Amino acid sequence: MLTSICDHAAMDASAEARLRNLLVATSNQALEVATSAAVLADPLDGPLYGLHYMSEMKRRFDTLECLVVATLRQSGVSWDVIASRLGVTRQSLHRRLSKRVDDEVEFSQKYPDMNEEGIFRNLSMLIAALSSLRHGLPDRLDEGVLTAAQRRRQPAWWWSEDDA
Protein backbone atom coordinates (compact mmCIF):
# COMPACT_ATOMS: atom_id res chain seq x y z
CA MET A 1 0.00 0.00 0.00
CA LEU A 2 2.73 2.48 0.96
CA THR A 3 4.64 1.68 -2.25
CA SER A 4 1.64 2.50 -4.44
CA ILE A 5 1.14 5.81 -2.60
CA CYS A 6 4.80 6.71 -3.17
CA ASP A 7 4.57 5.69 -6.85
CA HIS A 8 1.45 7.84 -7.27
CA ALA A 9 3.17 10.85 -5.64
CA ALA A 10 6.20 10.41 -7.91
CA MET A 11 3.95 10.29 -10.96
CA ASP A 12 2.22 13.48 -9.86
CA ALA A 13 5.56 15.24 -9.37
CA SER A 14 6.70 14.02 -12.78
CA ALA A 15 3.46 15.22 -14.40
CA GLU A 16 3.87 18.60 -12.68
CA ALA A 17 7.45 18.91 -13.92
CA ARG A 18 6.38 17.98 -17.46
CA LEU A 19 3.59 20.55 -17.37
CA ARG A 20 5.89 23.24 -15.94
CA ASN A 21 8.43 22.60 -18.72
CA LEU A 22 5.67 22.90 -21.31
CA LEU A 23 4.45 26.16 -19.79
CA VAL A 24 7.99 27.57 -19.80
CA ALA A 25 8.45 26.56 -23.46
CA THR A 26 5.06 28.08 -24.35
CA SER A 27 5.91 31.36 -22.61
CA ASN A 28 9.28 31.51 -24.34
CA GLN A 29 7.70 30.90 -27.75
CA ALA A 30 4.94 33.47 -27.14
CA LEU A 31 7.55 36.09 -26.19
CA GLU A 32 9.50 35.31 -29.37
CA VAL A 33 6.34 35.93 -31.41
CA ALA A 34 5.65 39.16 -29.53
CA THR A 35 9.22 40.39 -30.01
CA SER A 36 9.05 39.71 -33.75
CA ALA A 37 5.74 41.55 -33.92
CA ALA A 38 7.26 44.55 -32.12
CA VAL A 39 10.06 44.67 -34.70
CA LEU A 40 7.47 44.62 -37.49
CA ALA A 41 5.62 47.50 -35.82
CA ASP A 42 8.64 49.77 -36.25
CA PRO A 43 7.95 52.00 -39.29
CA LEU A 44 11.62 52.07 -40.31
CA ASP A 45 12.83 48.57 -39.57
CA GLY A 46 9.53 46.69 -40.01
CA PRO A 47 9.39 46.89 -43.81
CA LEU A 48 13.12 46.22 -44.09
CA TYR A 49 12.97 43.02 -42.05
CA GLY A 50 9.32 42.24 -42.72
CA LEU A 51 9.61 39.22 -44.97
CA HIS A 52 12.20 37.57 -42.75
CA TYR A 53 10.18 38.18 -39.60
CA MET A 54 6.91 37.11 -41.22
CA SER A 55 8.27 33.71 -42.17
CA GLU A 56 9.84 33.40 -38.70
CA MET A 57 6.54 34.37 -37.07
CA LYS A 58 4.63 31.77 -39.08
CA ARG A 59 7.08 29.11 -37.93
CA ARG A 60 6.89 30.36 -34.36
CA PHE A 61 3.07 30.48 -34.45
CA ASP A 62 3.03 26.86 -35.61
CA THR A 63 5.34 25.90 -32.75
CA LEU A 64 3.27 27.96 -30.31
CA GLU A 65 0.10 26.21 -31.46
CA CYS A 66 1.73 22.83 -30.84
CA LEU A 67 2.90 23.89 -27.40
CA VAL A 68 -0.54 25.18 -26.43
CA VAL A 69 -2.15 21.94 -27.61
CA ALA A 70 0.54 19.91 -25.79
CA THR A 71 -0.10 21.86 -22.59
CA LEU A 72 -3.85 21.29 -22.89
CA ARG A 73 -3.33 17.59 -23.60
CA GLN A 74 -1.00 17.25 -20.60
CA SER A 75 -3.71 18.96 -18.53
CA GLY A 76 -6.22 16.29 -19.53
CA VAL A 77 -8.08 18.06 -22.35
CA SER A 78 -9.10 15.68 -25.13
CA TRP A 79 -8.38 16.07 -28.83
CA ASP A 80 -12.18 16.29 -29.32
CA VAL A 81 -12.52 19.33 -27.07
CA ILE A 82 -9.52 21.11 -28.61
CA ALA A 83 -10.74 20.40 -32.14
CA SER A 84 -14.22 21.61 -31.29
CA ARG A 85 -12.80 24.85 -29.91
CA LEU A 86 -10.79 25.35 -33.12
CA GLY A 87 -13.75 24.49 -35.34
CA VAL A 88 -12.13 21.46 -36.99
CA THR A 89 -12.59 17.72 -36.72
CA ARG A 90 -10.66 15.70 -34.19
CA GLN A 91 -9.22 13.57 -36.97
CA SER A 92 -7.91 16.52 -38.98
CA LEU A 93 -6.41 18.19 -35.91
CA HIS A 94 -4.81 14.97 -34.71
CA ARG A 95 -3.43 14.21 -38.18
CA ARG A 96 -2.04 17.73 -38.52
CA LEU A 97 -0.55 18.17 -35.04
CA SER A 98 -0.06 14.90 -33.14
CA LYS A 99 3.50 14.18 -34.31
CA ARG A 100 4.61 17.79 -33.88
CA VAL A 101 2.92 18.01 -30.46
CA ASP A 102 4.83 14.91 -29.37
CA ASP A 103 8.07 16.43 -30.68
CA GLU A 104 7.46 19.70 -28.80
CA VAL A 105 6.70 17.82 -25.57
CA GLU A 106 9.95 15.91 -25.91
CA PHE A 107 11.95 19.03 -26.77
CA SER A 108 10.48 21.01 -23.86
CA GLN A 109 11.47 18.23 -21.47
CA LYS A 110 15.04 18.02 -22.80
CA TYR A 111 15.81 21.75 -22.67
CA PRO A 112 13.85 23.43 -19.85
CA ASP A 113 16.80 25.61 -18.79
CA MET A 114 17.26 26.90 -22.34
CA ASN A 115 13.58 27.85 -22.51
CA GLU A 116 13.72 29.53 -19.12
CA GLU A 117 16.75 31.60 -20.15
CA GLY A 118 14.93 32.40 -23.38
CA ILE A 119 12.00 33.85 -21.45
CA PHE A 120 14.18 36.44 -19.74
CA ARG A 121 16.17 37.22 -22.91
CA ASN A 122 13.00 37.62 -24.99
CA LEU A 123 11.29 39.61 -22.28
CA SER A 124 14.22 42.05 -22.16
CA MET A 125 14.23 42.38 -25.95
CA LEU A 126 10.47 42.92 -26.02
CA ILE A 127 10.62 45.57 -23.30
CA ALA A 128 13.37 47.41 -25.20
CA ALA A 129 11.47 47.21 -28.50
CA LEU A 130 8.22 48.41 -26.94
CA SER A 131 9.97 51.21 -25.06
CA SER A 132 11.57 52.38 -28.29
CA LEU A 133 8.22 52.32 -30.07
CA ARG A 134 6.44 54.06 -27.22
CA HIS A 135 8.82 56.97 -27.07
CA GLY A 136 9.66 57.43 -30.72
CA LEU A 137 6.73 56.18 -32.76
CA PRO A 138 5.33 59.52 -33.97
CA ASP A 139 8.75 60.68 -35.17
CA ARG A 140 9.56 57.28 -36.64
CA LEU A 141 6.27 57.27 -38.57
CA ASP A 142 7.18 60.56 -40.23
CA GLU A 143 10.73 59.36 -40.78
CA GLY A 144 9.39 56.08 -42.17
CA VAL A 145 7.48 57.91 -44.90
CA LEU A 146 10.62 59.81 -45.94
CA THR A 147 12.75 56.67 -45.79
CA ALA A 148 10.27 54.74 -47.91
CA ALA A 149 10.31 57.52 -50.51
CA GLN A 150 14.12 57.44 -50.60
CA ARG A 151 14.22 53.66 -50.81
CA ARG A 152 11.80 53.72 -53.71
CA ARG A 153 14.43 55.57 -55.75
CA GLN A 154 17.20 53.05 -54.92
CA PRO A 155 17.21 49.90 -57.05
CA ALA A 156 17.20 46.66 -55.05
CA TRP A 157 17.12 48.39 -51.63
CA TRP A 158 15.18 45.48 -50.17
CA TRP A 159 18.15 43.14 -49.91
CA SER A 160 21.85 43.51 -49.42
CA GLU A 161 24.49 42.25 -51.82
CA ASP A 162 25.19 39.39 -49.37
CA ASP A 163 21.58 38.18 -49.61
CA ALA A 164 21.52 38.11 -53.43
- Residue 159's pLDDT is 61
20-74 pLDDT tens trace: 999 999 999 999 999 988 888 887 777 777 777 788 889 999 999 999 999 999 9
CA quadruple 99, 116, 23, 39: dihedral sign: negative
Q: Do the beta carbons of residue 21 and residue 112 sit within 8 Å?
A: yes
Q: DSSP H helical segments within the chain, as ranges?
A: 2-41, 45-74, 79-86, 90-110, 112-152
Q: Is the pLDDT of residue 75 over 60?
A: yes
Report how far Cα 99 is from the mean position of its chain's Cα atoms.
18
Q: What is the pTM of this model?
A: 0.76
Reported as a pLDDT band with limits 50, 70 and 90, residue 2 is very low
Do 71 and 19 touch, CB atoms closer than 8 A? Answer: yes
- Beta-carbon contacts of 125 under 8 Å, excluding residues fewer than 6 positions away, are 35
